[in-house]
Amino acid sequence: MLDELVKNLVLVKQDFAKNYVGSAHIQEVIPASVSKQFPIGAHHLAMLHDFAQKNPIYFNSFEQEIAGILCTVYEGDINEYWLNSIKHGSSCQPFYPTWIMSAYVMASIAKKLGYKELVDIGSGDGRIAFCGKILGLISHSIEIDDVLVELQERISKATNQNFNPKCKDALDFDYSQLQLTHPLFFIGGLAQMGGDILATNIIDKINAISNLSHNTGIVFAGTYSKKQLSSNLDNGGWSSLIEKYNLNIVDTVSLPTVWTFDQTIETPYIFTKFN
């Protein structure tokens, strides 16, 4: 079911990006209703729309048929948030969001794999943690930028979904206080742009908590874009770190993100677990 949904989401994104004539800074699409191409619970779909509607980064929305599917297009602007997010000394990656539908797919995979907790490291406006919460996982949302955390708190209140926003530098945070049992960590940054620093730090911290690593998974956002000046794009640029820490790759799923909107390739998310 998820494979089909991913295939259709990518088709819709490609068709939308090819024909988009608007001028919004960012834009994304959520199907307007449940269909055989998008077989998700009506209640969950309504909550994804709720997240977009209650999120002030979007200033406009309209319905449009895309690749034969009626969708809602959300248009927005993240300039101000982006600028704030780069002001911090230990920022490992500026704010760019994953598409809300992509966040929902990844949280669904986390659930299918049996994880109990979802920890989004560098969570931006909190969409991955939000999706984990609506799917019944315990979510933790770690973000360094106070303006983004205020935004998360506002969305959390307006949607009535507490996905636990925390204004913390992920490099300093003590993860043992979360009392995790079976967590999946999402690393919010490309390896070549500072995500590797974030990932190395988190892995060392997980290894330092007794009995946690064997129950833990990590998801890396990768890239296959030649624009990233890297000689090694295997596993989206994460190969050397995966080898160094002897992680097992469980799944790779390529999904639309704001930063790949004008590219013909999507963002690969690599699901791994400790050996």
Ligand X SMILES: C[S@@+](CC[C@H](N)C(=O)[O-])C[C@H]1O[C@@H](n2cnc3c(N)ncnc32)[C@H](O)[C@@H]1O
Among 47, 74, 117, 122, binds ligand X (CB under 6 A): 122
Q: Which two tokens stand for residue 264?
A: 């013909």
Distances (CA, A) of 86 to 93, 260, 261: 7, 20, 21
| Region from 119-127, 155-163, 176-184, 242-250 binding ligand X, contact rule CB under 6 A | 119-127
| Region from 45-53, 90-98, 158-166, 206-214 binding ligand X, contact rule CB under 6 A | 90-98
Considering beta carbons, is residue 144 or 247 the nearer one to ligand X?
144
Among 5, 144, 180, 247, binds ligand X (CB under 6 A): 144
Considering beta carbons, is residue 113 or 171 the nearer one to ligand X?
171
Residue 189 binds ligand X, judged by CB under 6 A: yes
Show contacts with ligand X in window 217-236 (CB under 6 A): none
Show contacts with ligand X in window 19-78 (CB under 6 A): none
User: How many CB atoms within 10 Å of residue 69?
Assistant: 19
User: How many CB atoms within 10 Å of residue 117?
Assistant: 20
Residue 91 binds ligand X, judged by CB under 6 A: yes
Contacts with 36 (C-beta within 8 Å, 6 or more apart), sequence order: none
Sign of CA dihedral 254, 146, 142, 201: positive
Contact 253, 246 (CB under 8 A): no
Q: Which two tokens stand for residue 234?
A: 């295997």
Distance of closest approach, residue 92 Cβ to ligand X, in angstroms: 4
User: How many CB atoms within 10 Å of residue 235?
Assistant: 21
- Residue number of the CB closest to ligand X reads 122
| Region from 6-14, 26-34, 110-118, 139-147 binding ligand X, contact rule CB under 6 A | 139-147
Q: Which two tokens stand for residue 215?
A: 């129950």
Residue 191 binds ligand X, judged by CB under 6 A: no
Show contacts with ligand X in window 154-183 (CB under 6 A): 169-171
Residue 117 binds ligand X, judged by CB under 6 A: no
Residue 79 binds ligand X, judged by CB under 6 A: no
The closest of 223, 235, 256, 224 to 9, measured between CA atoms, is 256
User: How many CB atoms within 10 Å of residue 25?
Assistant: 13
Among 69, 71, 75, 124, binds ligand X (CB under 6 A): 124
- Euclidean distance between CA atoms 60 and 45, whole angstroms: 19
**Contacts with ligand X, residue ranges (CB under 6 A):** 85, 90-93, 95-98, 120, 122-124, 127-128, 142-145, 148, 169-171, 188-189
